[in-house]
Amino acid sequence: MSGSVQALEQAHTQVRAAIIHRRPIGALYQGRRRLLCPHLLGWNKHRRLLVLCYQYGGDSESGLKPAGAPHNWRCLAVEHLSQVELLDDPWHTAENHSRPQRCIEEVELDVDAYPGPVPPTQPTTSKSAKL
């Protein structure tokens, strides 16, 4: 398996996990470190794998607006993501998430199909100890 195919598969796996578990990711995209919350994963009409993310931090060529601003949505090619890691940061989105998006034609995963994590202020049924 070539390095680029393996890198794409690793990025794809990490983005899938982030969506399913509603966890932000940190990644390099076109040489810029970005903090992202992936909402949709799928293919465009040209069969290119894309992820629709809300960017809440890091670097951006076009600049970032304040947290929660509708202009922080990014449609990114998964093949250009590298050094993808799941983060423990809070989940970020914007009010216009439900508006129709145009970057992904065939959806593989949608964050709205998965329940969100239990907020830390609610009691949980099990406790885990940190080692």
pLDDT, tens digit only, all 131 positions of the chain: 566 888 899 999 999 999 999 999 999 998 999 999 999 999 999 999 999 999 999 998 888 998 888 889 999 999 999 999 999 999 999 877 655 578 999 999 999 998 766 444 433 333 333 33
Q: What is the per-residue pLDDT for 99? A: 55
Amino acid letter, 2: S
Q: Are residues 27 and 13 in contact, defined by beta-carbon separation less than 8 angstroms?
A: no
Residue ranges per structural domain of the chain:
3-113
Q: Are residues 72 and 55 in contact, defined by beta-carbon separation less than 8 angstroms?
A: yes
Q: Mapping DSSP to helix (H, G, I), strand (E, B) and coil, where does residue 26 land?
A: strand
pTM, 2 dp: 0.82
